[in-house]
Copies of this chain bind each other. A is one copy, B any other.
């Protein structure tokens, strides 16, 4: 068996190591266009920021070890320029010498990754305009950093925000220009509000809904980014983090079937339309396990697992890739934002019935020092309660809750299962009712009819349509005074039973700070025969929507 692997980073490196473990005698050739195999691309922003101090740390498995330990014929700087399917061989160009040669294969795995989009504007190719994909890119940016006082980051995705934080740590002024009205498109917009506030509080300038129209050379080697609205941003460095495209031209030229956005179409064994050719990583089309839609989701975890599965199938193992659920996480200064499964906007786009609930639980027992509130949004099926998606923003413990909810999604578990989840509880780690349990209580209560709720979006629509006539804020007078919904009247929950006559007529909404007191108030008013709903997530949810400019 001779296995040739195109690409030696996440998916390719995993495939190579797995292949060797499964077959000691196979000939395994790894062809990597760049000079580095098996490097830590997810670590690049942290190297730029100085948190990772040694460049050598980024080389996860040094070339010598790949060659010796895994007995790989690992060839850096070796670019595959053509796939000859009929001849079962690839053409390789040695980038050091320029020599071209054919390499035959029995099985081929394509794991070339995805290439960052280059800004398609005049000046997008000027020196000083960078993308960040490889160690070489990183070295080029790093070499320039000492002269950079201000950087413009095009795009407000995961990598841009990681770079923004890391450049800010270096004392570099940062402007992020995102053409959408929100950061981090996998999230629903309101869930990004805490990040927007944190970035601005740390001095990062954010321009949402902004578009770089052209890039001009400035004085003394600097650059100017001209926005479509005429604004001009001076920059010593411009980094484009505006998405990636599957590097599928070789596959396309070879006639392999392509899917969404030109990504290589594969079956669940990662096999392309040519049974001797497999593909893995950012270059493949995946199925979303919640929506069933095909898509391109460039993430390190799936890439590694896909590479492994391709090798498994080649060497006779029956593993299969089950689809991607889009679990992702980013640190932005002292905040963590994470998501898994489908967002509400995706569910809407796919016409998948859903309900949403918001909560703001503390990461651990409130009586133990250091408790910190997070904002958590859970999306679930309105009939059977299956968990469809979750998003959270906060401090410690956000990653844990999203991981727990990711397992719930993978296991096709329901919000009723979340009620009963038995999670670690001691005061430094959680609460007797963990945030995940609380989410289960709230969502199940909605389905059982015990907790009639509206989201902020639904409240606004029902107010506009006249379906909700008044809002009663059941927090204390002091909390109410610090900010409240427009037109709300204040009746603290502890006074509500004695002041039922003060509650306005008609269908009303109640709100508190996070939804707990509002829930009790809703129950009190329902018992009094009133038509009432609770505002999911309370005033804090309102602030999320307000901060995202969603309230008009």
- Is B368's CB under 8 angstroms from A51's CB? yes
B304 touches A338 (CB 8 A): no
Confirm or deny: A233 has a beta carbon within 8 angstroms of a beta carbon on chain B.
Answer: no
Interface core residue of A23, A46, A321, A338 (most chain B CB under 10 Å): A46
B367 touches A52 (CB 8 A): yes
Q: Does A520 contact B (CB under 8 A)?
A: yes
Question: Which of A84-92, A240-248, A397-405 participates in binding chain B?
Answer: A397-405
Q: Does A146 contact B (CB under 8 A)?
A: no
A69 interface hit (Cβ, 8 Å): yes
Report the minimal beta-carbon distance from A187 to chain B, rounded to whole angstroms. Answer: 14
Task: Contacts A10-B432, A43-B427, A428-B331 given; indicate if A404 touches B402 (C-beta within 8 A).
Answer: no
Are B424 and A338 within 8 A (Cβ)?
Answer: yes
Alpha-carbon separation in the docked complex, A292 to B365 (Å): 31
Q: List residues of chain B with CB within 8 A of the CB of A321.
A: 420
- Hey, which chain B residues are within 8 Å of A60, CB to CB? 366-367
**A188 at the B interface (CB under 8 A):** no
A429 contacts B367, C-beta separation under 8 Å: no
Partner of A448, one of B71, B317, B413, B450: B317
A40 CA / B428 CA spacing, docked (Å): 13
Please tell me if the beta carbons of A368 and B52 are within 8 angstroms of each other in the complex: yes
Least CB separation from A60: chain B residue: B367
- Interface-side segment among A121-129, A177-185, A294-302, A457-465: A294-302
Contact of A420 among B322, B329, B330 (CB under 8 A): B322
On whether A324 and B422 interact (CB within 8 A), knowing A407-B404, A433-B304, the answer reads: yes
8 Å CB interface, A358-412 against B: 365-369, 399-400, 402-404, 406-408, 410-412
CA distance A438 to B421 in the complex (A): 23
- Asked whether A40 lies within 8 Å of B437 as measured between CB atoms, the reply is no
Question: Is A305 an interface residue, CB under 8 A from the partner?
Answer: yes
Are A410 and B402 within 8 A (Cβ)? no
Q: Is there contact, CB below 8 Å, between B408 and A369?
A: no
Q: How far is the CA of A300 from the CA of B408 in the complex (A)?
A: 22
Query: Which residue of chain B is the closest to A23 with respect to CB atoms?
Result: B527
Copies in the assembly, this chain: 2
Question: Is the beta-carbon distance between A300 and B403 smaller than 8 angstroms?
Answer: no
Residues of B contacting A421 with CB < 8 Å?
406-407, 410
Asked whether, in the complex, the Cβ of B429 is within 8 Å of the Cβ of A329, the reply is yes
Q: Are B422 and A327 in contact (CB under 8 A)?
A: yes
For A65, the chain B residues whose CB sits under 8 A away are 494
Q: A404-B404, A408-B407, A421-B407 are in contact. Are A368 and B336 (CB under 8 A)?
A: no
Q: Tally chain A residues at the interface, Cβ within 8 Å.
A: 95
Min Cβ gap A398→B in Å is 9
Closest Cβ–Cβ distance, residue A441 to chain B (whole Å): 8
Contact, CB under 8 Å: B329 / A426: yes
Kindly state whether residue A151 has any CB partner on chain B within 8 Å: no
CB contacts (< 8 Å) of A299 on chain B: these are 425
List B contacts of A336 (CB < 8 A): 429
Write the chain B residue with the least CB distance to A369: B51
**Is B400 in contact with A399, judged by CB distance below 8 angstroms?**
yes
Interface string of A38-59 (1 = CB under 8 A from B): 0010110010000110000110
Among B24, B324, B424, point to the contact of A524 (Cβ < 8 A). B24
Q: Is residue A160 within 8 Å, beta carbon to beta carbon, of the partner chain?
A: no
Q: Is the CB of B367 within 8 A of A302?
A: no
A223 at the interface (CB under 8 A from B): no
19 contacts between A and B (CB under 8 A): A21-B450, A21-B519, A23-B527, A24-B526, A25-B527, A42-B365, A42-B432, A43-B365, A58-B367, A68-B494, A301-B425, A301-B432, A329-B429, A329-B430, A403-B423, A407-B411, A410-B420, A410-B421, A411-B412
Residues of A at under 8 Å CB distance from B? Answer: 10, 20-25, 40, 42-43, 46, 51-52, 57-58, 60, 65, 68-71, 158, 162, 299-305, 308, 317, 319, 321-322, 324-331, 336, 338, 340, 365-369, 399-400, 402-404, 406-408, 410-413, 416-417, 419-430, 432-434, 437, 441, 448, 450, 493-494, 497, 517, 519-520, 523-524, 526-528
Sorted nearest first, the 8 A-B pairs with minimum C-beta distance are A24-B527, A411-B411, A329-B424, A407-B407, A300-B432, A400-B400, A57-B367, A327-B422
Beyond contacts A23-B527, A327-B424: 19 other A-B pairs, Cβ-Cβ < 8 A, are A21-B520, A24-B524, A24-B527, A42-B427, A43-B427, A52-B369, A60-B367, A65-B494, A301-B422, A304-B432, A328-B424, A328-B425, A331-B426, A399-B424, A402-B424, A404-B404, A404-B407, A407-B408, A410-B413
